Every structure is written in C-alpha cells, then in structure tokens.
A and B are shown apart, each in its own frame.
Chain A
Amino acid sequence: MKVSIYRYNPETDREPSMKEYEVDTQGKDLMVLDILALVKEQDSSMSYRRSCREGVCGSDGMNINGKNGLACITPLSQVAPGVLEGKKPLILRPLPGLPVIRDLVVDMGMFYNQYEKVQPFLQNTSPAPAIERLQTPEDRAKLDGLYECILCACCSTSCPSFWWNPDKFLGPAALLQSYRFLADSRDTATEERLSKLDDPFSLFRCHGIMNCVSVCPKGLNPTRAIGHIRSMLLERGI
C-alpha cells in the first residue's frame, strides 16, 4: 500500500513536503503505528512520537487522512474506505495548528500552556482529613467522561477556534479538564475557576461545532463539558 507522510526538517528543508512510501501489509488490518514502524525500517530519518502503543499515553496523536487520531489504536480499516485494500493512500500529517519540530513531531507548548491555566489539580481550603477526602458514589460518577482524558491534543488541534487563537482560547482539552475540577465535590475553588472563564475568549470562543467530539480517541465529549461550564457561568451571572 502507498503511504504519504509529511516531512519537514527545519534545519535542512526550506519548506515541508509529502514523501511517498510503499509498504507491504500482507493484507493485514494493521494499526497506523505499525505502518509507521514499517516505514521507519525503510527510512530511519522519518520522525514521530510513540510510547505505550495502546492508546494510554497520548504520544502518537496525528492527522490521519484528514482526521486527528491516535496512530496506535487506529486500524487501517477505520481510516477511510479503500485504505486497507490499498486503493487509497494512507496520508499522515502532524497535528494541525501546532508548530512542527520535525516531520510528525509537533511542539505541544501552546497546548500545555492552556492546560496549565485551568489549574488542573484539586483545590480545597478546608483542613486535610487524616486519610483522604471522601466522595459519594454519585459525586464520583460525575467525573466519568472527564478524568479519562490523556492529553493527546487530538481535540484541541482539530478546533478552528484553537487554530486562530491558541494563546487566548483554552481549547476543548483544557476546558474538559477545567470542568473535571468544577464538577468535583471535593474542590472548593469553583468561584475562582469560573471567574477566569467568563471573558470573550477563554471559553466563549467555542462555537459548538463538535470537531473535538468527533475526533476524541477516548470517546469523550468536551462540547458537553463546555456547555456545563457555560450553564454554571449563566447561573452565577444572572
């Protein structure tokens, strides 16, 4: 099958280009990460990130035939019709909207800056108990669909609002984490958290186009979380 990969080395290349490779899959429905390993055997200069190879670490987020996803848990059969059969090429590009360090490796700095802004840690001003802060099963259930985020950046880099204002709009991943702590019964910094979100950019740049939901490899719904935060802001502001 044909594989087309975005290549760019800022030290030697004047501009990025797409390079074609021919890979023998022996008819198997391999994961995209397996294809990259086969390409790497042919061309060791091609760079990409990977670690756990099972959708837990979030290292190998990339744009696969136009849609962001994790290479390690995306089988060829799910990329696009005809890719597995070799009728269409597999096209791999870096995550859109972030500066390219080399080939498929992007600089995640802007993404992490926004994550840092939402203070993604539990804040509680009451004295710490002897063992741990307890939570009812119902309150714990409110965190389902929020805590599972692995920060792969597939969602934020598929969001046009994040492309245009990556320094001002927090992006779906950071906002999902923001709601993860707003929804936590053990967190007492609700007012401080909300007061940092009601400007025209941080949250309200979300126009609800749901690209984030469409691409999330973990099946999470940042748009819904953003809607919950908006409702909290509305209740607080009216």
Chain B
Amino acid sequence: MVTSVTSLGRNGLYDWLIQRVSAAIIGVYMIGMLGYLMLSGDLDYGSWKALMSSVCMQIANTLLVVSVAAHTWVGLWGVTTDYLTGMTLGKAATGVRLIAQLAIALALVVYLLWGLVVIWGGA
C-alpha cells in the first residue's frame, strides 16, 4: 500500500474510475458538438447563443468543464509523480513536485470557476 495525499481520491481505483468516466463524458460531448456543427448549416450568433443558453447545454457544459478539470488533474498528477522524482531531480524533487502540483491545481481551480461563470453567468 503506497499512500499519497495529492492524488484526487487518495485511492487508485477512484482515480482510475474518474479518468474513465470523465473521458466518456468528454468523448460524448465532442461527438455531440461535432454532429451539431456539421448538421446545423450556417451557424449565426443568435442560434449559437440560444443553444448555449438552454439549460440542457448549460448542464452539458458544466459536466464538460468538471470532467476536463478532473481528467487533467489525474493525468498531470501521474506525469508529475512519474518524472518529477528523486531519480531525475535528486533532493529537490519533493519541492519541485509540490510546486508543480500546486500550480496545476490552482490553474484548474481558476479554469473551473471561470468556466462556471461563463456557463451560468448569463453574460
């Protein structure tokens, strides 16, 4: 048993499941959006705004933003714990990894909040 306080769920199975479920949500969203763009013909601002203002799309966009944030964290957490280790960076590894993980986490929180404001702000 190897513990880690910075992984998303502190548990490998949980992180693995989150990675799969978020990938499925992102995949379904992208296919749906691609289909809409291909079938909608000449897309103007009005119809695009109407689409994005519908509650269904707001929920779909929220799911997408949360999924991208969770997926990115699990993936980049894996990258930082693979490459920013004592084997490659020596004694500085823990500090470098912590700073990198904090920077990624902060960027994702900002992205998440900003995304929610854009989706639900009604601008």
Which residues from chain A sit less than 8 Å from chain B, CB to CB?
160-161, 164-165, 168, 195-205, 230, 233-234, 237
Contact = CB atoms under 8 A, between A and B. Distances in A.
A196 B12 CA distance: 11
A237 B82 contact: no
B13 A198 contact: yes
A168 to B, nearest CB: 5
B16 A199 contact: no
B39 interface: no
Contacts of B14: 237
Contacts of B54: none
Given A165-B81, A165-B82, A204-B12, 18 more contacts: A164-B85, A164-B87, A165-B85, A168-B2, A197-B12, A199-B3, A200-B2, A200-B10, A200-B12, A201-B2, A201-B81, A203-B12, A204-B15, A205-B78, A230-B16, A234-B17, A237-B13, A237-B14
Given A204-B13, A237-B13, A199 B87 contact: no
Nearest to B19: A204
Interface residues of B, number: 19
B13 A202 contact: no
21 contacts: A164-B82, A164-B83, A164-B87, A168-B2, A195-B1, A196-B1, A198-B12, A198-B13, A199-B4, A200-B4, A200-B10, A200-B15, A201-B81, A203-B12, A204-B13, A204-B16, A205-B78, A230-B13, A233-B13, A234-B13, A237-B14
